[in-house]
Structure 1
Amino acid sequence: MTSTVPAAPVRDRWGLLAVLSGNMLIDALEVSVAIVALPAIGHDLRVDDAVAQWVVGGFALGFGGLLVAGRRAVARWGERRVYLVALLVFAVVSAVGAAATSIAVLVLARVVKGACVALTAPTGLAVIGRAFPEGEARNRAISVYSSFGACGFSAGLLLSGLVTQVDWRWTFLFPAPVALVLFLFGVRLIPGRAGDTSVPAGGRGLPVSRGLLRSALGAAALNGSFWGLLVTCTFRLQDGLGWTPLQAGVALLPASLPVALTAPFSGRLVGRFGTRGPIALGAALLPIGYLSVWRFRGDRPDLLTEYAVGVLPALLIVGGGFALCFSALHMQALSGLRAAEHGMATALYQSAVQLGGVLVLALVTVPAFSPLGVVTAVGLLGFLVALTGIIAERRTL
């Protein structure tokens, strides 16, 4: 059961959407900007790759670790208060991270930023669901919100490439003023709402289904292997081959473009073909793409030609597979659950997405392991999980 508190009416729903979508954009940037900046951070703070990767892993840890608890915070203090406080803290720790002189302070700031995103990202979607009437207006608003998130990752690769060439610290500082501006507009536009007493207390009543568990495992493998590939490539291109951050950002961009381009149409794809088919096809493409990257040795005189032949096709294959799986996995996770369970199911699912990234990033930087070997193995694991969905579907026919 939910209750509302008195709040100013939403005078400008599309202004509200601009605030929420802008926040989603900077949230999505947080991973990709850090990936391109990792080699520069490692050099400046004098840490090796295994330590530097925690700049990405710390953000994912804070994000994934607070999603479930974040729903309980919203239930207790209300969406408006939690959202605005998290946005303000996000701005402050952005500045702290940019000024960090040690890797410990930087990683801690990244963990806190991830925790802030765990509070704002799902809450923003819930606010949209109530601010816009059901039907075309709500669907359009959700599509815009999701597209900002999908495009944010791609934009972050280019932005970080440009900014890191000046100083990697600007990469972490620029979200601070943006978040402050969004906070000021959010104070006026975000409606008030009291907590949701339907959120289970003490871990009881958590939604559990085979579809949710299968989707969570598949998404963990998908996100983990994808991030692992990008981190492996950024160190290889910059430290191994001497490419600039901008060149590396542009080089990695094709892996993220398919998701950005197809996000507005993902619902139609699932509506026509269901979830299991696209997930299985996408999961099959990922290890094929990962194996293709093994061909990139960087020993040809013309590196651009080798990139075009050995890396670009692999990144496009991986990006296409990711796009097929991205939305379908989330929709499969919610399939068969009651509407009241969707919020907690999404939190559990997104926790798996983020923590899968943390685990794989930790593994690919272990000196004893082959980074591409780890990425490929995790991709194959995701494909095996997808196959169990196909088998389960056939058994029910």
Structure 2
Amino acid sequence: MQYADPPPATTKSERSLTGGLLTLSAAQFLIALDFSVIFVALPSMGAELNLSGSAVQWVVSAYSVFFAGFLIAGGRIGDRLGARNMFIGALVLFGVSSLLGGLAGDASLLLIARGAQGVAAAALQPAILALVNTTFPAGRERTRALAVWGAVGASGLAAGVVIGGLLTTVSWRWTFFVNLPFAVVCALAAPRLLPGRREGGTRVPLNIVNAVLCTATVLVFALSLTLAADSGWTAPATLISLAVGAALLALFVVRERTSRQPLVAPVLRRTRSLVAGCGSSALYMASVAGVEFYLVTLLLQDGRGYEPLAAGIAFLPLAACITLGNVLAGRLLNILDVRRTLTLAFAIGAAGLLLLGLSTSSHDYLTALLPGLVVSGLGHGMIYTSMFVGGTRDVADHNQGVAGAMMTTTQYAGGALGVAVVVLVLGADIGDGAFRAAFLLAAGLAVAGAALAWTGFAASGKASTSAPDEEAAQDAPAHLAEDGTGRDHAERSLAGESPATGSVGR
């Protein structure tokens, strides 16, 4: 591995890099697993703890709302404290909250544990992406690393449903306890295998007021979408939360435009590839990821009467194809470019959702569900890797944490909005026709993703930074600009090199 400036005291061996990538991939698997493992356990959980229907829904929503709400602040705090430090701290919180969730004897403690898991995931996700992007240089090495990370992480969504079905046959509590080995092993491995901040590294400023406003804005909007799915768009609670969210958003935008140290650096808002990546991640979760998982789980258990274990096994082909899709994307990105690969990936995902929609009248798994799961799974895996490669390719090291957080925030916001709309499409009396309409809607969103990928990314696979050197220099930390090195730092960041002062995760 080459460094633009004097290397750290010890040069990382290929074995160490591989171990670090496996550690980061395992942590990403943990995040995805924790999100999906809970679904098939919800009926058993509700029965044992006497949870109402709305309380059961909040077991999922408490995680999603706090995850989305704290991502941007978590990314910027990680950029300031160091990605590895944030990685370890988040894993500790993840382990403690998972233990509490598994031991919960009532709804209150269970929901608190799920909310804490969401906060931990919000700190962990951007730290993982920052460490991947700052450890491996842009190009083939980073693409290969993101393909491995994506293959392991994305498969966690499908594997979570399978593992959840298996664990629920013993006790739903094991869907929490299963997180502990991942959290402990990754936290212990991090100091030895992951790079830390170099001495004299960049201290990324944190605007506390803007961080609070950002978190509150996303929290309230995520709550609004959850309430819309649960109570309807015209319910008073939904309308009030939407109004409060709009007011907080307006205040946040004003603060960001007038602050000397905004939470989201202006150069990030002007980076076309990052904006396209955020849009792609939202449409990904609103189609072949979050919405598809929700629909297929509902179709299998409520529409077809599958038991939790059987539903988990039915997801196995999807999990395998997601992994295959990630590997395939890693190779295609080196042959084609992000624009063509991501467009193709969304088109494949749309085809799979279309197959699922057209087959809802048949109750045979092999001829009706399996083809759609296979095709959509390939598209799912290809999208996951491609959108992160394209979305973060033009972002400097010191902004990788918040850039990754931006993509993940839009990803889960897109999923929450997609589910809220799908609930309206399904209606109260869910039949084969309602499922068909919902799958076709998801397919349409995937087509929109393909259109965005084609128009949003540059035709060339090379970096396409929309901000000129002068703008990047203005966005450099104040102490760098003052001593005359800010421009040099920005120029080398735009060139894909490491800044002289070091960067998060290096």
* TM bucket, shorter chain: 0.7 to 0.9
Partner of 2:24: 20
State the AA in 1 paired with 2:162. L
Q: CA RMSD in A?
A: 3.8
Residue 298 of structure 2 corresponds to residue 241 of structure 1: no
Task: Give the direction of change, closer, same or farther, for the CA distance of 1:384–1:61 in structure 2 (3 Å limit).
Answer: same
Pick aligned residue for 1:325 from 383, 398, 416: 383
Residue 349 of structure 2 corresponds to residue 286 of structure 1: yes
For the residue of structure 1 that corresponds to 2:173, the secondary structure is helix
For 2:139 and 2:391, the matched residues in 1 are separated by: 23
Deviation at 1:272, TM superposition (A): 2.0
Q: Is the deviation greater in 158-167 or in 192-201?
A: 192-201
Partner of 2:210: none
Q: Is the deviation greater in 241-250 or in 48-57?
A: 48-57
Task: Give the direction of change, closer, same or farther, for the CA distance of 1:378–1:72 in structure 2 (3 Å limit).
Answer: same
Residue 117 of structure 2 corresponds to residue 113 of structure 1: yes
For 2:141 and 2:345, the matched residues in 1 are separated by: 30
* Stretches of structure 2 lacking an aligned partner (at least 5 in a row): 1-7, 207-260, 429-433, 461-506
Q: Is the deviation greater in 181-190 or in 325-334?
A: 181-190
Partner of 2:326: 263
Task: Give the direction of change, closer, same or farther, for the CA distance of 1:170–1:393 in structure 2 (3 Å limit).
Answer: closer
For 1:372 and 1:103, the matched residues in 2 are separated by: 35
How many equivalent residue pairs?
388
Partner of 1:3: none
State the AA in 2 paired with 1:123. A
Partner of 2:279: 217
Q: Is the deviation greater in 274-283 or in 347-356?
A: 274-283
For 1:31 and 1:149, the matched residues in 2 are separated by: 11
For the residue of structure 2 that corresponds to 1:168, the secondary structure is coil
Contact conserved, 2:87 with 2:127, CA < 8 A, in 1? yes
Deviation at 1:244, TM superposition (A): 1.9
For 2:295 and 2:55, the matched residues in 1 are separated by: 14
Residue by residue, what CA displacement relative to the aligned partner does 1:284-342 show, whole Å, maximum 9, x if unpaired?
343443343345558x7xx5xx1111111121222122233222222332355556554
Task: Give the direction of change, closer, same or farther, for the CA distance of 1:315–1:47 in structure 2 (3 Å limit).
Answer: farther
For 1:191 and 1:215, the matched residues in 2 are separated by: 26
Residue by residue, what CA displacement relative to the aligned partner does 1:249-305 show, whole Å, maximum 9, x if unpaired?
11122233222123234232123222233333333343443343345558x7xx5xx
Task: Give the direction of change, closer, same or farther, for the CA distance of 1:104–1:363 in structure 2 (3 Å limit).
Answer: farther
Residue by residue, what CA displacement relative to the aligned partner does 1:112-163 show, whole Å, maximum 9, x if unpaired?
2132123223323444566678998777655544433234334323221211
Deviation at 1:92, TM superposition (A): 0.8
Contact conserved, 2:273 with 2:457, CA < 8 A, in 1? no
For 2:419 and 2:106, the matched residues in 1 are separated by: 20
Matching of residues 223-372 of structure 1 within 5 Å: 223-225=285-287, 226-295=289-358, 306-334=364-392, 337=395, 341-365=399-423, 368=427, 370=434
Residue by residue, what CA displacement relative to the aligned partner does 1:349-382 show, whole Å, maximum 9, x if unpaired?
1211122222223444457375653453244134
Matching of residues 119-130 of structure 1 within 5 Å: 119-127=123-131
Q: Is the deviation greater in 187-196 or in 25-34?
A: 187-196
Pick aligned residue for 1:161 from 165, 181, 203: 165
For 2:118 and 2:167, the matched residues in 1 are separated by: 21
State the AA in 1 paired with 2:338. T
Task: Give the direction of change, closer, same or farther, for the CA distance of 1:7–1:48 in structure 2 (3 Å limit).
Answer: farther
Residue 97 of structure 2 corresponds to residue 93 of structure 1: yes
Deviation at 1:169, TM superposition (A): 1.4
For 1:219 and 1:312, the matched residues in 2 are separated by: 25
For 2:420 and 2:202, the matched residues in 1 are separated by: 36
Partner of 1:376: 440
For 2:83 and 2:455, the matched residues in 1 are separated by: 41
Q: Is the deviation greater in 381-390 or in 24-33?
A: 381-390
Q: Is the deviation greater in 355-364 or in 88-97?
A: 355-364
* Stretches of structure 1 lacking an aligned partner (at least 5 in a row): 1-5
Matching of residues 141-220 of structure 1 within 5 Å: 143-186=147-190, 190-193=194-197, 196-198=202-204, 201-206=261-266, 207-208=268-269, 209-220=271-282
For 1:138 and 1:335, the matched residues in 2 are separated by: 9
State the AA in 1 paired with 2:34. E
Deviation at 1:192, TM superposition (A): 4.0
Q: Is the deviation greater in 214-223 or in 147-156?
A: 147-156
Q: Is the deviation greater in 75-84 or in 366-375?
A: 366-375
State the AA in 2 paired with 1:357. G
Pick aligned residue for 2:36 from 21, 32, 43: 32
For 1:38 and 1:74, the matched residues in 2 are separated by: 33
Partner of 2:83: 79
Deviation at 1:25, TM superposition (A): 2.5
Bigger radius of gyration: 2
Contact conserved, 2:134 with 2:397, CA < 8 A, in 1? no
State the AA in 2 paired with 1:193. R
For 2:183 and 2:457, the matched residues in 1 are separated by: 45
Task: Give the direction of change, closer, same or farther, for the CA distance of 1:47–1:283 in structure 2 (3 Å limit).
Answer: farther
For 2:94 and 2:286, the matched residues in 1 are separated by: 24
State the AA in 2 paired with 1:279. L
Task: Give the direction of change, closer, same or farther, for the CA distance of 1:198–1:92 in structure 2 (3 Å limit).
Answer: closer
Task: Give the direction of change, closer, same or farther, for the CA distance of 1:372–1:107 in structure 2 (3 Å limit).
Answer: farther
Contact conserved, 1:214 with 1:385, CA < 8 A, in 2? no
For 1:116 and 1:135, the matched residues in 2 are separated by: 30
